[in-house]
Amino acid sequence: MSGAMINVLYFAWMREHTGTASEQITLPDGAKTVGDLLPLLMSQSAGHALALKNMAAVRVAVNRNYGDLKTVVAAGDEIAFFPPVTGG
């Protein structure tokens, strides 16, 4: 069967580390939360592993609302990872 897809976004230095602003991934079997996605995401490249290794310094949004590692994810979701914001 074709897996359920989710869209993953990276911003600022996380985008530079991963080398990508946006990637489609297949939701791993049994993955229910943002935290469950991390092993797959970190395996994509050394840059991914570096970007995601300290999640205390990273903020998460699911479908453009703030979440955290325990936020539930489902097919079609947009998951974003980014550093603490510095606008204004």
Partner 1 sequence: MAVRVQQEDFDVGVESRTLQGPAVGAIALFVGTVRSLRGDDSITAMTLEHYPGMTETEISRIEDEARSRWPLLEVRVVHRVGRLLAGEQIVMVAVSSAHRQAAFDAAQYIMDFLKTDAPFWKAEERGDQVDWVEARQSDSDAHAKWQLK
Residues near partner 1, by CB under 8 A: 9, 11-13, 61, 64-66, 80, 82-88
User: Smallest gap, in angstroms, from Cβ of residue 59 to partner 1?
Assistant: 8
User: Smallest gap, in angstroms, from Cβ of residue 10 to partner 1?
Assistant: 10
User: Smallest gap, in angstroms, from Cβ of residue 40 to partner 1?
Assistant: 22
Distances (CA, A) of 66 to 2, 8, 40, 58, 88: 29, 14, 21, 11, 18
If the CB atoms of residues 35 and 83 are measured against partner 1, the closer one turns out to be: 83
If the CB atoms of residues 52 and 80 are measured against partner 1, the closer one turns out to be: 80
Q: How far apart are CA 66 and CA 68, in angstroms?
A: 7
Q: How far apart are CA 21 and CA 57, in angstroms?
A: 18
